Amino acid sequence: MVQGRVSFEREAPIPVPGTGEAIVRTTRVAVCHAAADSIRAPRGPDRTLGREFVGTVERIGPGSGPGPLRGSGANLVGKRVVGSASRACGSCDRCRSGLSGHCRDRRTLGEPGTEGCFADYFTVPVSSLVEVPPGIGDDEAVLSSTFAAASHLARAVPISPRILVSVIGDGAVGLVTAALLASRAETVRILTLRSSAAMVCEKWGLRHRPAGEAGRRHDQDLVVDTEGSDSSMSLAVGLARPRGMVFVSRTTGRAGGPGPSEDVCGAIAELELTVRGVRGEDFPGGVAILAGGSIPVAPLVASRLTLEQVPGCVVDPGFDGMVKVIASVPPPSH
């Protein structure tokens, strides 16, 4: 990304890994809503975009062995890996108190200040990498962050077979979360905002209906709002039964959603709802779900491109970023 526009460079320097970092040679990337938004409306300093990847560890920087960093970096050299785009500083008060997910200096691959993965090589903290088992292909592995976020969210939700569950929002994470919950409860439905999501639901056998037709009957034991907007939260409290639970996670990165805003705080008090925010990723869990093969990834993939074709694709107004574009990165010539 250069001076407010996105460009494709044929030759880029190979980065040097810092302390605790690995150099990863990229083989696949996925275009999420955030990357698509950055391509459509670039902002911030010049940098390489991209946050979802699968690649092979080429080299490890200093200080990546056993110790305060998780895992042994040396063991990962030559291995196929996926990993979190989010990196914590490791030294602020929150990181030191076990709240690294809420680091005061949290950085994200491809966001201002951090080079992203839309490149032949990029650097990433060794501690954020997870090895990909041989049974998972690159086209599946590159969706690991979606499955990692859904795994984390689904684990946070206390579910039992006979409760009524509604999932609001139909980004890729919302869809996978609904599929995971549907494997543990009989009555899980997803309230969709986009026709592309309804097609995924059909292929996965998920109950679904348009969010606008959900009604507000206060009969759901548990509502999982994966949009995390004011209006989706308004819908969530309209669906939840008295003393029900609402889990909120912003997985699409977008505000906006179904229905008009209501008196959300008033409804929470009136109905004695329990509301909990959830954010984070469970990469080992996500990779394990992919390895299990119970959720076919093909319906989540809108198209396959080369990296060079990505900018032209996502500026198309028809691209909503809710299902993924996968781009392959051919072996570098240098």
Positions that interact with Zn ion (CB under 5 A): 88-89, 92, 95, 103
**Cα–Cα distance measured from residue 215 to residue 223, given in angstroms and rounded to the nearest whole number:** 13
Contact 221, 214 (CB under 8 A): no
3-state helix, strand, coil in the chain (%, to 5): 30, 25, 45
Pick 79 or 107: Cβ nearer Zn ion: 107
* Min separation Cβ 96 and Zn ion, Å: 8
Contact 20, 1 (CB under 8 A): no
φ/ψ bin of 50: left (φ > 0), alpha (ψ from -120 to 50), beta (otherwise): left
Pick 95 or 136: Cβ nearer Zn ion: 95
Residue nearest to Zn ion (CB): 103
Contact 57, 22 (CB under 8 A): yes
* Closest C-alpha among 329, 310, 330 to residue 36: 310
Pick 103 or 302: Cβ nearer Zn ion: 103
Pick 101 or 259: Cβ nearer Zn ion: 101
* Min separation Cβ 100 and Zn ion, Å: 6
* Closest C-alpha among 57, 114, 61 to residue 85: 114
* Min separation Cβ 101 and Zn ion, Å: 10
* Min separation Cβ 91 and Zn ion, Å: 6
Contact 141, 82 (CB under 8 A): yes
Pick 92 or 198: Cβ nearer Zn ion: 92
